[in-house]
Amino acid sequence: MKVAVVGGTGDFGLALAHQLAAAGDEVVIGSRDAERAKQKGAEVGVLGAANEDAVRGVDVVVLAVKAEAALETARGLRDAIGTTPTLSVASELRFSKTGVRPRDGRSLAEETAQLLDAPVSAGLHSLAASSLAAGAAEGDALVCGDDEDAKRLALELAGKVVTGRALDAGPIESARALEGMTAVIVNLNRRYKGHAGISITGL
């Protein structure tokens, strides 16, 4: 599989790119700064390019930019992405003294789907950059989406970076719960000083 990781110079994107490359995928990381993308890509043995160039000619695009830049990035890359299946991994979190909360209303993935001509799936929200940096993340990965072919690609990708399974969590509306799960995991990690993941039992 050929994968573009937009936001690949960040901690999560770079760790994801590294694990996908280790699994045998052809990976290119994208950044607004092409030279930075090439430099960071060389650190983990993958290609680097400007975002617009990275997303062309690939099988799947992973939007791994920070939540506050996710929609603006998707809007700017609409033409370059075209109809290439896209995986949204960002979660918008609100931090307070009493804990971390998810965004209100629709998920970032749903809003991204409205901006792109491509089918959008959502997933990997339970995985942390620190976990991926050390190898395949412990636990399962959950993916949701409305387009079955795009979701199949996302599930195949997700299955390569976890020790457990990649599981179909239903339609794109389920991204509201998956993105909210990130807030739950951050709260758990803060309280128990750990690196929590998700494992689904009974299946």
pTM over 0.85: yes
User: Which H or E run contains 87?
Assistant: strand 86-88
- Average pLDDT value for the chain: 96
What pLDDT is recorded for position 177?
A: 96
pLDDT of 22: 95
Q: What is the pLDDT of residue 158?
A: 98
**Residue 41 has which token pair?**
């890509």
* For the chain, domain boundaries: 2-192
Asked if 100 and 94 touch (Cβ cutoff 8 Å), the reply is: yes
Question: Please, which pLDDT band fits residue 167 given cuts at 50, 70 and 90?
Answer: very high
pLDDT bin (cut points 50, 70, 90) of residue 120 is very high
pLDDT at 124: 97
User: How high is the pLDDT of residue 160?
Assistant: 97
In which residue are the tokens 């830049």 written? 69
Per cent of the chain over pLDDT 90 is 94
* DSSP per-residue string spanning 133-163: HTSSBSS-EEEEES-HHHHHHHHHHHHTSBS
- Residue 18 has a pLDDT of 96
In this prediction, residue 53 has a pLDDT band, given cuts at 50, 70 and 90, of very high
Task: Specify whether the CB–CB gap between 144 and 174 falls below 8 A.
Answer: yes
Question: CA-CA distance, 166 to 186, in Å (whole number)?
Answer: 21
Cβ atoms of 49 and 38 within 8 Å: the answer is yes
Alpha-helical regions (H) of the chain: 11-22, 34-44, 51-54, 67-76, 78-81, 108-115, 129-133, 148-159, 175-192
Q: Write out pLDDT tens, residues 1-22.
A: 999 999 999 999 999 999 999 9
pLDDT band, residue 119 (cuts 50/70/90): very high
* Residue 28, pLDDT score: 98
| Most confident segment among 51-65, 122-136, 182-196 | 51-65
pLDDT at position 179 is: 96
CATH class of 2-192: alpha beta
pLDDT of residue 113: 98
Average pLDDT over residues 121-131: 94
